Every structure is written in C-alpha cells, then in structure tokens.
C-alpha cells in the first residue's frame, strides 16, 4: 500500500509517498508559492526514490491546484497512492485518534477552525480538493493534538471561570504531538522497553517551534504548549510564556489593534525579539563578538528549556530517557550540553565527548554514571502519519474480514 502524506502550509504543500509495510520512501517534494501570484513563479521540488531533485514550474493558485500537479508528477513516474494522510494541527477534544475523513468528519473538523485559524483551513481546503478530484481515495487525518489527549485534567485546566472555559474551549491542548509520539516510540524500541512502561521527557527543539513533553508510561501527561502553540518555550519568533497582563497592556497601549499585538507575539518575539538580529538560535550561539543582547538571548533560551525540564523530571518521576529531536535538538550539541548541565542531582549526566560526536542518529550521549539515557533521535513526522494512516486502514480491513489476520494485527503482535 502506498500512502501519500501531506503537510499543508499557508503557501506550501510538502508531500511524501511511502510504501507499506516496508516503510520505503518512493517519492517526496514540496510545492512552494502556492496561492496568489508572487514575484517568483510557483514551483514544485520533486524527487523520485534516490534520484536527483527536479524543479517543475506550474500555476498553483490554491492547494487544490498544487495537489493536482503533484498527482500528475507521480503518475508520470508510474506511481499512484492508495490513500492520503494529512498532518492536521488541531483536533480539539473531538479528534483524539487518526480519523477517516468522510463528509461528516470533515464537517466536524470545520467547526474547530476557530481553534487553529491559520493552520486548519488550508488542510480542510486540501481535503475538499482531494475528494473532488479523487472521490474514491481514502483520506485520514492525523492530529498534532491527539497524543496530548491523555494530559490529566489538573494539567490541562486553566484557572478561569468554568463557563468561559466551556463556551470557548479554553484549555491546554498541546502540540507537536506527532513528533513527540514518534520519538517516544523510537526510544522504547531502542531501549527494548515496552512502550507502556516508558518514562521520558521529549525535547522537540525546532528552528521555528519548540516544545517539551512529559511522558509517563508511554502517554503524554503535559506539554509546554497550551491553548495555542504560543505558550511555553522561547521559540524563533514566538514569545512563549508571558504574564497575561502584558498582553492586556499591549492591547491598551498599542494603537494598531488586536491583529498587530498577535503579530508581535507570534512573529516578532522569541529569539528574534530578544536578539534584534536573528530568529535562529544557531546564529545566536555562533555569533562572533556577541553583544549583551545576543548573550542574554542565548541564556534566556536555555533557561526556559532547563526550567521545564526540571519541572518534568519532577512530575514524571523515575525517568528512562531524556530525548532531543528536531533541527536544534538533533544538530546543535551546545544546546544539548547547556540544557543538561546541573541535573546530576536527578541522575542526569551528559558525556561531552559523545555529545560532540553525535552525528549518526539515533545515539545515546549519556555518561556511564547517568541514571537515565540521553537519546538524540531524528524525528520523522511524515513516516509517523503514514504509519497511523496505514494502521487505521488495515484495522478497518480487519474489522470487515473476520477470521483473516491483517498486516495491522501482525504489526502489533
């Protein structure tokens, strides 16, 4: 079975075609500058198997047009998907598992657009286009929020009046769940430990967004992000945790209105706002002759991660592993070293030499005397989405054919 995975951005469409059960990538690419015409032409960077990347130019005024172009490129290479898997940012409390997107499910998802106004609508538009062009092709949504549906009430509840919470769906949802789930499952495999016994803290440190996830017995019990991806760590351009009164003060003092304040907090804050020069922490850490603001930016970035790591070490209990993943977590040893300093009282100790040499992933960079593993694992959200899509469809097949063992059943025995 070939699963075509889509990650839909506001003006882009990333895709990967993965063959199951072998989990082999057979094509991948990205459509860029999707939408209204820009100074540069819309294009698709496309690669089949281990071949060279090719660039195809095409008019793509919307994601439906981009989907059509991608399908034509695949068809030209003799490739066809058997199902589609969609990365979907927000499922609210309704969607806590991978879901077959029939018309009823699509309609229900549309009612959640207010929870993710920037991310969910493009994905829904793509789903509609897929249904129109290929009505018989199964579509499955995999939700970033789903892994965090196990967060307990005491952790997801905000201390505001119940009527407001219920009326507007105001609670912690958590994000990056697909990535956190993937690396936690990989950690269980690496450590040869049943997933339902694994205790870990997953550190998804991306060049854009970032979050930590506390995992007890293989299940998320907290995530640094909250009602939106704005809460938690200092990120590239997002502020992370701030006093809510600060937002109120900005709304009163700034004359440009709510949208301008939201833009400040989401796109002009974080590492960029602190440093005034770059939103990439790698630039900050490698800056020559850094000034005080650059040094303070690096310190604040690390401080926030360490604060949450310490909190999660406490609430999870005896840990099996701390996991670093995504661009910064995988590629920047300085960040891993600084984050892990000072936690020997918890039994967490990093081996500096192993950390510097960590290039072939996954790897364990814990010192011999560390009481827990420190794993660096490359995340693979597209593979995770493809797996969940495949398993759901196999389970449906199994339910329809009693007495016949499915590939899904074989995978889970």
Can you give the CATH number for the domain in which 87 is found?
3.30.420.40
Task: Kindly provide the residue ranges of all beta strands, DSSP E only, lying in 157-225, ordered along the sequence.
Answer: 200-205, 210-216, 219-223
364 is catalytic: no
Average pLDDT by consecutive 10-residue portion of the chain (413 residues)?
Answer: 94 95 97 88 94 94 94 96 97 96 96 90 94 96 98 98 96 97 98 98 96 99 97 97 95 86 94 96 92 95 98 97 98 98 96 96 98 98 97 87 47 38
Residue 395 included in any domain: no
Cα dist. 130→81, 107, 196 in Å? 12, 15, 36
Contact of 33 with 57, CB cutoff 8 Å: no
Per the structure, the count of domains in the chain is 2
Contact of 4 with 83, CB cutoff 8 Å: yes
Residue 65 included in any domain: yes
Q: Enter the pTM of the model.
A: 0.92
Handedness of CA 10, 239, 110, 92 (dihedral sign): positive
Structure confidence at residue 407 (pLDDT): 44
Tell me, letter by letter, the H, E, C secondary structure of 219-260.
EEEEECCCCCCCCCCCCCCCCCCCCHHHHHHHHHHCCCCHHH
Structure confidence at residue 241 (pLDDT): 98
In 3-state terms, the chain is what percent helix, strand and coil (to 5)? 45, 20, 40
ω into 340 cis (within 30 of 0): no
Residues 125 and 251 in one domain: no
Residues 133 and 256 in one domain: no
Structure confidence at residue 397 (pLDDT): 82
Residues 123 and 213 in one domain: no
Cα dist. 75→14, 59, 69, 70, 248 in Å? 17, 18, 10, 9, 53
Contact of 371 with 345, CB cutoff 8 Å: no
Residue 260 included in any domain: yes
Residue 300 included in any domain: yes
Residues 250 and 371 in one domain: yes
Integer Cα distance of 108 and 94 in angstroms: 8
Residue 411, both tokens:
């995978």
Residues 126 and 210 in one domain: no
Integer Cα distance of 180 and 379 in angstroms: 8
Residue 362 included in any domain: yes
Give the number of other Cβ atoms within 10 Å of residue 87's Cβ: 21
Residues 90 and 227 in one domain: no
Residues 118 and 200 in one domain: no
Residue 299, both tokens:
């310190």
What per-residue string of b and e applies to 271-304 under the rule 16 or more CB within 10 Å gives b? bbbbbebebbbbebbebeebeeebeebbeebbeb
Residue 37 included in any domain: yes
Q: What is the CA radius of gyration of the chain?
A: 22
Among 82, 136, 144, 326, the active-site one is: 144
Structure confidence at residue 254 (pLDDT): 83
Handedness of CA 147, 150, 155, 158 (dihedral sign): positive
Structure confidence at residue 411 (pLDDT): 38
Residues 224 and 364 in one domain: yes
Contact of 107 with 160, CB cutoff 8 Å: no
Integer Cα distance of 412 and 312 in angstroms: 30
Residue ending a domain, choose from 143, 174, 204: 143
- What is the domain extent for residue 240? 193-379
Integer Cα distance of 321 and 350 in angstroms: 12
Residue 215 included in any domain: yes
Residues 121 and 197 in one domain: no
Residues 336 and 197 in one domain: yes
Structure confidence at residue 409 (pLDDT): 38
DSSP string, 74-123: HHHTT---SEEEEEES--TTT--S-EE--HHHHHHHHTTGGGSTTTHHHH
Region of residue 217 (phi > 0: left; psi between -120 and 50: alpha; otherwise: beta): left
Residue 182 included in any domain: no
Structure confidence at residue 401 (pLDDT): 62
| H or E stretch covering 2 | strand 2-8
Residues 237 and 334 in one domain: yes
Residue 23, both tokens:
């989990």
Residues 134 and 14 in one domain: yes
């Amino acid at each position: 079975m070939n699963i075509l995975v889509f990650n839909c951005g506001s003006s882009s469409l990333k895709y990967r075609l993965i063959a199951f059960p072998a989990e082999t990538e057979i094509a991948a690419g990205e459509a860029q500058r999707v939408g209204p015409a820009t100074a540069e032409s819309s294009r698709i960077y496309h690669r089949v198997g281990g071949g060279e990347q090719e660039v195809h130019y095409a008019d793509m005024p919307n994601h439906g047009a981009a989907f059509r172009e991608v399908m034509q490129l695949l068809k030209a290479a003799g490739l066809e998907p058997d199902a589609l898997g969609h990365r979907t940012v927000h499922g609210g409390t309704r969607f806590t598992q991978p879901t077959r997107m029939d018309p009823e499910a699509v309609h229900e998802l549309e009612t959640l657009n207010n929870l993710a106004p920037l991310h969910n609508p493009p994905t829904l538009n793509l789903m509609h286009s897929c249904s129109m062009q290929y009505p018989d092709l199964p579509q499955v949504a995999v939700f970033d929020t789903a892994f965090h549906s196990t967060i307990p009430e005491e952790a997801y509840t905000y201390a505001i009046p119940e009527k407001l919470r219920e009326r507007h769906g105001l609670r912690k949802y958590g994000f990056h769940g697909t990535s956190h789930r993937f690396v936690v499952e990989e950690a269980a495999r690496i450590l040869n430990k049943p997933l339902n016994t694994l205790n870990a803290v997953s550190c998804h440190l991306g060049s854009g967004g970032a979050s930590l996830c506390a995992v007890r017995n293989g299940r998320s019990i907290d995530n640094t992000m909250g009602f939106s991806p704005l809460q938690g760590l200092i990120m590239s351009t997002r502020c992370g945790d701030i006093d809510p009164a600060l937002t109120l003060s900005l709304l009163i003092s700034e004359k440009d209105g709510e949208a301008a304040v939201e833009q400040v907090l989401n796109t002009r804050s974080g590492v960029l706002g602190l440093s005034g020069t770059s939103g990439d922490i790698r630039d900050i850490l490698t800056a020559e002759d850094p000034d005080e603001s650059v040094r303070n930016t690096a310190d604040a970035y690390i401080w926030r991660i360490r604060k949450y790591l310490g909190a999660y070490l406490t609430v999870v209990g005896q840990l099996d592993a701390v996991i670093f993943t995504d661009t910064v977590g995988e590629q920047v040893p300085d960040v891993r070293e600084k984050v892990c300093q000072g936690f020997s009282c918890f039994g967490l100790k990093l081996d500096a030499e192993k950390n510097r040499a960590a290039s072939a992933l996954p790897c364990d960079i814990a010192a011999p005397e560390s009481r827990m593993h420190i794993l660096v694992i490359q995340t693979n959200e597209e593979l995770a989405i493809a797996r969940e899509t495949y398993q759901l469809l196999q389970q449906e097949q199994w339910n329809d054919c009693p007495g016949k063992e499915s590939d899904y059943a074989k995978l889970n025995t």
